[in-house]
Amino acid sequence: MIDLKRYKPSSDLLARRVVLITGAGRGIGRVAALTLAAHGATVILHGRDVAKLESVYDQIEAAGGPQPTILPLDLATARDRDFENTALAIESQLKRLDGILHNAARLADPGPLDNQTLDEWLLLLRVNLAAPFALTRACGHLLRASSDASVVFTSETHALEPAAYWGGFAVAKSGLTALVKIQAQEWEGWANLRVNLLVPGPVDSPQRRQTHPGEASASRPRPEALMPAYLYLIGPDSRGVTGQAIYC
């Protein structure tokens, strides 16, 4: 691993690459979409709110980036067929896929386990763990066809350091750590495939504002501070790095 604090990606790092970004409508996902596009990637913008995705689309086009694609899908209700249709749409429209940045998340307000219901847990597990697995699996044939493909899962601090009141969200996110290890081992025979986990830590995002409403926004790092790590993991410079959990 290199020192990410000193990492300086080239301006064309992701030229001719197609990258799917989930949760691209706001927060870290939005900044990642703009940043990856600025470094040459053709980005596929996933989210539930089409208006927010259109805003990101317009911003990328205004900056002169490669024309993005909008791909709305509700991870809370999507089934296997929906993920398979998503992969088919990518293949039909863009002919390739070189990376997935899993950033979409569903967060419940922190509270004791006694107050959390089965339905709430199932929703958190579906959006934060099962859906990323299903989307990666559905796009597997596209990733294997790429000469250099990278999958990055965005995790959360309490996944690595479980704490009271984080309940189903922490459990779902901690499952990503196991998923990354398993997928990395199953891809050992594919030199062109890698998968890693990134833990952003406290940043100024909608999620952080929801869980820490009294915290001063100026005291938190901006999502832009995370972008060198995302660029490194998605881009070719991380070739050979797989199965890792990287804490920013």
List pLDDT tens digits, range 66-105: 999 999 999 999 999 999 999 999 999 999 999 999 999 9
Residue whose entry in the numeric block shows the structure tokens 């899993």: 102
Listed range (74-83, 106-115, 182-191) with the worst mean pLDDT: 106-115
Name residue 43's beta-bridge partners: 19
Instruction: Centre a 10 Å sphere on the Cβ of residue 2 and count the other Cβ atoms it contains.
Output: 11
Mean pLDDT of 153-178: 90
Instruction: Centre a 10 Å sphere on the Cβ of residue 145 and count the other Cβ atoms it contains.
Output: 14
**207 pLDDT above the threshold of 90:** no
69/53 Cα distance (integer angstroms): 9
Give me the pLDDT at residue 110, please.
85
State the pLDDT confidence band at 202, using cuts at 50, 70 and 90: low
Give me the pLDDT at residue 61, please.
97
Instruction: Find the helix packing angle between 27-38 and 50-62, rounded to 10°.
Output: 30
Count of domains forming the chain: 1
Give me the pLDDT at residue 205, please.
57
- Cα 109 to the chain's mean position, in Å? 21
pLDDT tens readout for residues 24-38? 998 999 999 999 999
**22 pLDDT above the threshold of 70:** yes
State the pLDDT confidence band at 2, using cuts at 50, 70 and 90: confident
Give me the pLDDT at residue 209, please.
58
- Find the helix or strand (DSSP H, E) in which 89 lies: helix 80-94
Listed range (31-35, 60-64, 77-81, 206-210) with the worst mean pLDDT: 206-210
Give the structural domain span for 78.
4-247
In CATH, what number is assigned to the domain containing residue 205? 3.40.50.720
Percent of the chain with pLDDT over 90: 77
**139 pLDDT above the threshold of 60:** yes
